[in-house]
Amino acid sequence: MKKITLLAGLLFSFFSTVTAGTDPDGPTTIQARATALTRAISDKARLDEGQYIQVKRLNIQMLLEQDDLKTRFSADQSMLDQRLADAQARYESDLTALLYPAQLALFQQSRTSMTALGATPK
């Protein structure tokens, strides 16, 4: 009986570990997305170490909020769009507050050149 209980416990812990590792919106995925986003911003705006940490924290917060909003308002697309737009506006405001004027200019220039609106036909 003890062997069966032990085996069942081991199987349960194994399957729990496997399913936890495949969660697409888990903390590891958010951390990885935040790290990639922060590195991209750092490359464009040339962040110092303190700014890098603050921007990464801001990115994690933004990604968590986006995931939360998508879960809470999945049934109401117009409300979801409005809440996501509000969250994006807060994020951009907080991000611009962290950057020095020269960094902000570099960041906005690179962001504009990457969007369809910023591209000029040749």
Kindly report, residue by residue over 28-58, the tens digit of the pLDDT.
899 999 999 999 999 999 999 999 999 999 9
pTM of the entire structure? 0.70
Across 8-17, 23-32, 74-83, the highest mean pLDDT is recorded for 74-83
Which residue is associated with the tokens 């919106």? 25
| pLDDT single digits (tens) 53-95 | 999 999 999 999 999 999 999 999 999 999 999 999 999 999 9
> Using CA atoms, how far apart are residues 114 and 106, in angstroms rounded to an integer?
13
- CA dist list (Å): 62 to 3, 12, 90, 101, 111: 47, 34, 9, 22, 18
